[in-house]
Amino acid sequence: MATTTMAETDASSMQTKTGTKYVYFFGGGKADGNGKMKDVLGGKGAGLAEMTNAGLPVPPGFTIQTEACREYMRRNAVSKDVDRQMEEALAHLEQLQGQKLGKGDNPLLVSVRSGAKFSMPGMMDTILNLGLNDESVEALAKRSDNPRFAADSYRRLIQMFGNVVLDIEKSAFDEVFDNKKKQKKAKLDTDLDAKALQEVIAEYKKVVKKHAGRDFPQDPHEQLVMARDAVFRSWNNDRAKHYRRINNISDDLGTAVNVQAMVFGNLGDTSATGVGFTRNPATGGKEFYGEFLLNAQGEDVVSGVRTPVHILELEKLMPDVYRQLRDITTRLEKHYKDMQDFEFTVQDGKLYMLQTRNGKRTGIAAVRVALQMVEEGLITKEEAIFRVEPNQLYDYLVPRLDEKGKIEVLTKGLPASPGAAVGQIYFTADDAVAAVHKDKKAKVILVRAETTPEDIHGMEVAKGILTSRGGMTSHAAVVTRGMGKCCVAGAGEIEVNEKTREMRVKGQTFKEADWISLDGTTGRVIKGKLDTLDPKSDDPELLKFMGWAEPFRKLGVRANADIPRDAIQARAFGAEGIGLCRTEHMFFGEEKIPHMRAMILANNEKDRRAALKKLLPMQRNDFIGVFRAMDGFPVTIRTLDPPLHEFLPRREELMVDIDMLPHYDARQKKSLVSKYRDYGVKAASDLKKALPALLSRVEQLHEFNPMLGHRGCRLGITYPEITEMQARAIFEAAVAVAKEGVKVHPEVMIPLTATLKEMANQGAIVKRVAEEVFKEKEKSVPYMVGTMIELPRAALVANEIAKEAEFFSFGTNDLTQTTFGFSRDDVNKVLPTYIAEGILKQDPFAVLDQEGVGQLVEMATERGRRTRSNLKVGICGEHGGEPQSVEFCHRTGLNYVSCSPFRVLTARLAAAQAAASDQLKVEGGRTK
């Protein structure tokens, strides 16, 4: 297959004589489309075309392209051309197969599946066994000599069709099925015989009539048209929309629909169905990896309802099929030059390939597979750089369980997605979400028998997922790996009872909110709340991989870190300096906060200076720690920025306490003393005077809009002694460590400036104090004074500000806030609707709004450098660690990005990929 040449997508293949080509046929050894046409055919359709062209055993069929879906979304109907082309393709399929859809002794049955450009596992709808009706079910029974199989296929069709096409609740069918099992005293579904299933079919038809107000359609062509349109509609179901939002997939793409001749994995013990990977998707190990079920249909494997068997068992049961499968998948991997995720079915001993695509994998697996493939000569080092999504490197930073002391392993499941998770158990997605709503810091483990796409919101808030059923390719496993979240799947010894909110394992019962610990790397489920250990970022494979990527990188990568511990961590992850040290965060320590509060509450300069004097040595010590950790690298320290209310008691609470004070006994007064100790209250006898005084100061400081209020450089301008103290602490610390031999480069950063004069005012204080300290200590160090660009006005007059500022750092959190006029703390009230309505594609506080805020960044950079050609420019808002935003910063010619320590690796790779993409003229690792 490696020798097969691929036809390029060309414009003419998209056109028929009459207009758009909507339907692409595949079968009989050739296909209209090819593997490159993912935009048009979706991932699945492109894969089917490619496999067909390569001569693989693929059941024939046709793909209705994504444009038909987009049309359907626009007009609520498809054009006549789509119907006509679909009928022509169906006629072609019937001719090739020598069968008629749902007719005759050997009826053709088809599957109707969704398939978008980007894989969205289980989010959209599928219909199997289409073409069955009251007549063709008889023919199928005769032909397969298996009336039970025929009846089971038919009842599955009515159920799926009823649910997906006619919008009937699944439970309406489940009720019928469960009652029949009870009535027949059947334990398993498979215990129901053909006669019982025929009774189920009769009742299912009644369910359809009752809920949909019409009969189940007996005309196979009508079934096909209705199923196609339902699959188009499923592009816009809630879970698909939700999945696209999380994975940043555009709502405009639409899905293709694949109609394909059915093959049956449930014709008896010479039939099977399975899924697999050419390498281990969790670890990247080079091993044939997969699962199958004898006598089953595809959805039984993927949905995780039955726990499948390891693929190596297939060698014992069907050695020829196994060999053929190995051979085909090895060729597929060579052909696509990437790890493949494939689906197959064996019908009566004959192997069919249903799907292949590049497999999703963990970050650790992505790095390992990339390294292996370079060694195997499949790809170049340059291509390898693009085989890892920058966000995936987070997997190297996931924690492990701290296993000191005795631990009680309750059971072992499959290590579906690595890392560790410790949390309280919840049994439904809604309960998990409610727990997190109640307490933002709640650590939740979602425990389910199996997950389905409906659980996605619970999975998103959970720290980890535990399921009692399902394999490594079950829904839970695939989705959590994509989310980089710990998952243990198929822990069969656990009994989960969603109704009573309990799980039982090894004779013990666990209730809602009990603590457990999960190890997603080994599959162990451990009783109780273990500690977690920080991960290792010096894995040799990671270092080798980064060693290939890093030489391309142009952007510097720094970290936002406020305390020495975080600075040390950041340096270990490869940070080349600190891009933002938020000095107010240094005051959160227990011994510092009372002085900070005293400083804010002071209503005259003398008191303020007294409080600042106490803060000075503490702040100096913190700076010393950070400078030592960053020896040789620059450290950007921002002067005080926060809105003052963050450090004050809440006004309403204070009023209540004043009102209640006369009614309080000694014990209650004592508790008030400790509540207000940080505000200078020392004894109960102080309360009567101190609380009203505090209230009056709080009222003086009260602001209607603190984010736009007395914060940023406005603090240092109104209270210059604050900037003086901070500058003194910075330079005294710098000189002290310089005397130890540490190479120190402080960059003092003034927040929230909007005018040149603000910058000049604060810059002058910093420079004056620097000179004073250098003189006193008889030593000087190199330093710079610059500003944050966080206001649109600052971007507009950047050429002016750059006269005084030696560097700029974009505070894109505030810049996004002030450009959109969205409050960054309250935006979540509107954001979900904005995203659901497509008004915004992404959260602009997470992914930089290149179109709007980005313009200000570009403009300020250009204007600033017009004044000062060597102006150093960076970014330190949250966007500094987000891959698309990093790519934007690279394009805009910034000097560095700065992000939280845990995103440093991601930023390094994103920056390297952006530069490599320029230099190598490649996109996603392939030539542009």
Distance, in Å, from the CA atom of 33 to the CA atom of 790, rounded to the nearest integer, reads 50
Query: How far, in Å, CA of 260 to CA of 27, rounded?
Result: 10
Q: Give yes or no for residue 812 binding ligand PEP (CB under 6 A).
A: yes
Active-site residue flag, 876: yes
Among 59, 811, 874, 925, binds ligand PEP (CB under 6 A): 811
Q: How far is the CB of 752 from ligand PEP (least distance, A)?
A: 8
Closer residue to ligand PEP (CB): 260 or 812: 812
Q: How far is the CB of 701 from ligand PEP (least distance, A)?
A: 19
Question: Per CB under 5 A, does 880 bind Mg ion?
Answer: no
In whole angstroms, the minimum distance from the beta carbon of 814 to Mg ion comes to 4
Instruction: Candidates 217, 453, 811, 844: give the one binding Mg ion (CB under 5 A).
Output: 811
Q: Which stretch binds ligand PEP (CB under 6 A): 141-149, 319-327, 811-819, 899-907?
A: 811-819
Instruction: Take residue 624 and report the two structure tokens written for it.
Output: 């010393």
Query: DSSP state, 648?
Result: S
Closest CA to 149 of 159, 138, 158: 138
d(CA 923, CA 919): 11
Q: How far is the CB of 585 from ligand PEP (least distance, A)?
A: 9
Q: How far apart are CA 140 and CA 133, in angstroms?
A: 10
Cβ contact 744:738 at 8 Å: yes
Query: CB-side exposure of 651: number of CA atoms within 13 Å?
Result: 11
Candidates 63-71, 542-550, 622-630, 807-815 — which segment interacts with ligand PEP by CB under 6 A?
A: 807-815
Residue 876 binding target from Mg ion, ligand PEP, none, CB below 5 to 8 Å by type: ligand PEP
List the one residue from 205, 286, 334, 582 that touches ligand PEP (CB under 6 A).
582
Q: By C-beta, is 152 or 790 nearer to ligand PEP?
A: 790
Instruction: For residue 231, give the nearest of 38, 23, 33, 65 by alpha carbon.
Output: 65
Class of residue 189 by CB neighbours under 10 A (exposed 0-12, middle 13-18, buried 19+) = middle
203 binds Mg ion, rule: CB under 5 A: no
Q: State the sign of the Cα–Cα–Cα–Cα dihedral 762, 733, 574, 484.
A: negative
Listed residue (594, 561, 600, 597) closest to 577, CA to CA: 561
The residue range among 38-46, 290-298, 361-369, 808-816 that interacts with ligand PEP, by the rule CB under 6 A, is 808-816
The gap from C-alpha 88 to its chain's centroid, in whole angstroms, comes to 42
Minimum gap (Å) between residue 573 Cβ and ligand PEP: 19
Which amino acid appears at position 82 of this protein?
V
Q: Which segment (398-406, 543-551, 811-819, 868-876) binds Mg ion by CB under 5 A? A: 811-819
Q: Report what 877 binds from ligand PEP, Mg ion, none; CB cut-off 5-8 Å by kind.
A: ligand PEP
Question: Least distance in Å: CB of 817 to ligand PEP?
Answer: 7
Q: Is 876 in the site for ligand PEP (CB under 6 A)?
A: yes
Kindly report the three-state secondary structure assignment for every residue of 201-230: HHHHHHHHHHHHCCCCCCCHHHHHHHHHHH
CA distance 833 to 704: 26
Based on the shown chain and the rule CB under 6 A, indicate whether residue 814 belongs to the binding site for ligand PEP: yes
The site that binds ligand PEP (CB under 6 A) totals a number of residues, namely: 10
Return d(Cα 666, Cα 661) in angstroms, integer.
10
Q: For residue 299, which of 262, 247, 326 has the smallest C-alpha distance?
A: 262
Interface with Mg ion in residues 786-805 (CB under 5 A): 790
Rounded distance, CA 667 to CA 234, Å?
62
Q: What minimum distance in Å lies between the beta carbon of 732 and ligand PEP?
A: 24
Partner whose binding site includes residue 580, from ligand PEP, Mg ion, none (CB under 5 to 8 Å by kind): ligand PEP
849 lies in the site for ligand PEP, by CB under 6 A = no
585 binds ligand PEP (CB under 6 A): no
812 binds, among ligand PEP, Mg ion, none (CB under 5 to 8 A by kind): ligand PEP
Q: What DSSP letter does each residue of 261-297 carry, written as one string?
A: E---S-SSTT-EEEEEESS-TTT--SS-EEEEEET--
Catalytic option among 876, 889, 890, 899 = 876
Q: Is 522 left (phi over 0), alpha (psi -120 to 50) or beta?
A: alpha
814 binds Mg ion (CB under 5 A): yes
Query: Using the rule CB under 6 A, is 13 a contact of ligand PEP?
Result: no
Catalytic residue among 69, 335, 475, 879: 475
Q: Least separation, in Å, of the C-beta of 163 and Mg ion?
A: 49
Pick the closest to residue 471 from 295, 239, 289, 346 (CA basis): 289
Taking CB under 6 A as the rule, does residue 813 contact ligand PEP? yes
Residue 475 catalytic?
Answer: yes
| Contact status, residue 578 vs residue 634, Cβ threshold 8 Å | yes
**Contact call for residue 790 and ligand PEP (CB under 6 A):** yes
Binding site for Mg ion (CB under 5 A): 790, 811, 814
Binding site for ligand PEP (CB under 6 A): 580, 582, 641, 790, 811-814, 876-877
Active site residues: 475, 876
